[in-house]
Structure 1
Amino acid sequence: MNRVVMFFLATISISVFAGDASEILQNMKDAQDYKTSRAAYAMIIENKGKTTTMEFEGYHKKGEKDLQLMRFTSPPRIEDTAILIKGEKIWYYNKRSNRVRLLSKSAKKGSMMGSTFSYNDLNIDYVEDFTGEILEDEKDHYILKIYPVDRERNYRYIVARVNKENFIEERLEYYDKNEVRYKVMVTENVKQVKDRWTAIRVIMTDLISGKITRIETHEKSLDFDFEMEDSEFSEKNLKK
């Protein structure tokens, strides 16, 4: 086949895929269709043979702005330390210093509580924050290449493996500005809890340092669509 024709057909194919990607990103967002959610979690960090376990409670309310609150309950040295997310803004409350700090853009790229998750990883809207294209359309999965709208994110793009049945991301591969894969997130034990698809375990691996973080949901604590006032997600309320 003529090279020009082959290039033309390839270009058409990429354009069609790119158009379809936005619909998949919308479905990924819609898969989390609850108004509110809450659960208790364990965060286990493994690094150079040392294991650290932290427990926290997480709350999420959807609306004009996504509202999220993480309050750590153990170990005692970090008890009541909290992270508050309101749209693009993230606050960090340190119980030991009794100070609330609004994180800068550079600070949001940093490690969340010493884990392999950044603060930015906690605050993702697949529709507002990304554009993308379909790399592969498999029988049971889509493989997407998605680009952050905010160029100041840690990564240049993410390659996502998305389940076609529930639109849960089963694997995210993060690539840096030099297109080197440096971090991988996988979801495990995906199941329906109270009629909603949920990943009970999320694992983030730093491929450079070898550090691994697992966040495990205590399934019995998971709840959806209860009443929660916006005032619960206030900077003032962080100091309990």
Structure 2
Amino acid sequence: MKKISVIFFMLINICAFSKDASEILKKMEDAQNYTTSKGEYLMVIENKGKKITLGFEGYHKKSQEDLQLMRFTFPPRIEDTAILIKDENIWYYNKRSNRVRLLSKNAKKGSMMGSSFSYDDLNIDYVDDFTGEIIEETENYYMLKVYPVDKDRSYKYILAKVRKDNYIEESLEYYDDNEIKYKFMTTQDVKLVKKRWVPLKLTMTDLISGKVTYIETEEKSLDFDFFIEDSKFSEKNLKK
């Protein structure tokens, strides 16, 4: 989903390893090498014994800007609520109030639709937004420690466990300014779909609140490299 549409990196050369971090991060970006993508998703939020299920459609296009659109389809109270991302800018459309607002840097750190994901977590760039280093290498994995270039992010660094066979993150651990791990994400059910490796399930756990969020992809709904107008990703189009 990205990108959940996807946040990471440029870098320090570590001669002791078979590759340096910049090569790995580039391969992680290349693993999502498509011009357009779309899919249907379920987002399940579990918190204090309660469970909420949301559905949304996701679209992504790489043109002069990195464009992403999430439009919620259920439950009825949030139907047509939408999130639009253009590079670093994020807009939120509330169907009930019929208002579109551009999120501030502070607001982007907040919970996305009440989930364990922040709005910032939706906007991932593996090459431009982070610096990092390899801290461990095994037969099957690289472990990277990556730092956001933008110091206004809600975390100080992330530990990323990256599979060598497909360069998909198996896990991401988020650490705050006190170097305390406060949330982590894992990927499950990684499959080759239309010649692209895709994790069909993401799990984000907030270690402070105990809230857990699952995002599951409907495999049959996934498509890549089809034509879609840039106008679909406009603020005006949010008011469907």
TM class by shorter-chain length? over 0.9
Rate the CA distance shift 1:13–1:83 in 2: closer, same or farther, 3 A: closer
Give the partner amino acid of 2:102: L
Which digits, 9 at most, give the CA deviation of each residue in 1:87-114, with x for residues without a partner? 0000000000000000000000000000
Is 1:225 equivalent to 2:228 in the alignment? no
Give the partner amino acid of 1:73: T
Residues of 2 paired with 1:102 and 1:14: CA distance?
40
Corresponding residue for residue 102 of structure 1: 102
Give the partner amino acid of 1:227: F
What does 1:12-91 correspond to in 2, within 5 Å? Answer: 14=14, 20-91=20-91
Corresponding residue for residue 145 of structure 2: 145
Contact 2:47/2:210 (CA < 8 Å) preserved in 1?
A: yes
Residues of 1 paired with 2:16 and 2:151: CA distance?
25
Give unmatched runs, 5+ long, in structure 2.
Answer: 1-11
Which digits, 9 at most, give the CA deviation of each residue in 1:147-173, with x for residues without a partner? 000000010000000000100001000
Contact 2:186/2:204 (CA < 8 Å) preserved in 1?
A: yes
CA RMSD of aligned residues (A): 1.5
Give the partner amino acid of 1:47: N
Which digits, 9 at most, give the CA deviation of each residue in 1:115-153, with x for residues without a partner? 000000000101001110001111010000000000000
Which digits, 9 at most, give the CA deviation of each residue in 1:14-54, with x for residues without a partner? 5655x810110110000001110000000000000000000
Corresponding residue for residue 204 of structure 2: 204
Report the Cα offset of residue 64 of structure 1.
2.2
- Secondary structure of the residue that 2:190 maps to in structure 1? strand
Give the partner amino acid of 2:63: G
- Secondary structure of the residue that 1:227 maps to in structure 2? coil
Which digits, 9 at most, give the CA deviation of each residue in 1:174-229, with x for residues without a partner? 00010000000000000100110000000000011110000000111000010001
Give the partner amino acid of 1:158: I
Percent of aligned pairs sharing the same letter: 71
Contact 2:38/2:223 (CA < 8 Å) preserved in 1?
A: yes
Contact 2:42/2:53 (CA < 8 Å) preserved in 1?
A: yes
Contact 2:13/2:20 (CA < 8 Å) preserved in 1?
A: no
Residues of 2 paired with 1:31 and 1:220: CA distance?
20
- Secondary structure of the residue that 1:64 maps to in structure 2? coil
Give the partner amino acid of 1:72: F
Give the partner amino acid of 2:62: K
Residues of 1 paired with 2:147 and 2:167: CA distance?
18
Report the Cα offset of residue 13 of structure 1.
8.7
Contact 2:60/2:68 (CA < 8 Å) preserved in 1?
A: yes
Rate the CA distance shift 1:13–1:111 in 2: closer, same or farther, 3 A: closer
Corresponding residue for residue 187 of structure 2: 187
Contact 2:13/2:21 (CA < 8 Å) preserved in 1?
A: no
Give the partner amino acid of 2:150: D
Corresponding residue for residue 4 of structure 2: none
Over alpha carbons, which structure has the higher Rg? 1
Residues of 1 paired with 2:64 and 2:159: CA distance?
28
- Secondary structure of the residue that 1:23 maps to in structure 2? helix
Report the Cα offset of residue 63 of structure 1.
2.0
Residues of 1 paired with 2:163 and 2:15: CA distance?
22
Compare the two structures and name the one with the higher helix fraction: 1
Give unmatched runs, 5+ long, in structure 1.
Answer: 1-11
Residues of 2 paired with 1:72 and 1:167: CA distance?
29
Corresponding residue for residue 4 of structure 1: none
- Secondary structure of the residue that 2:20 maps to in structure 1? helix
TM, length-normalised to structure 1: 0.93
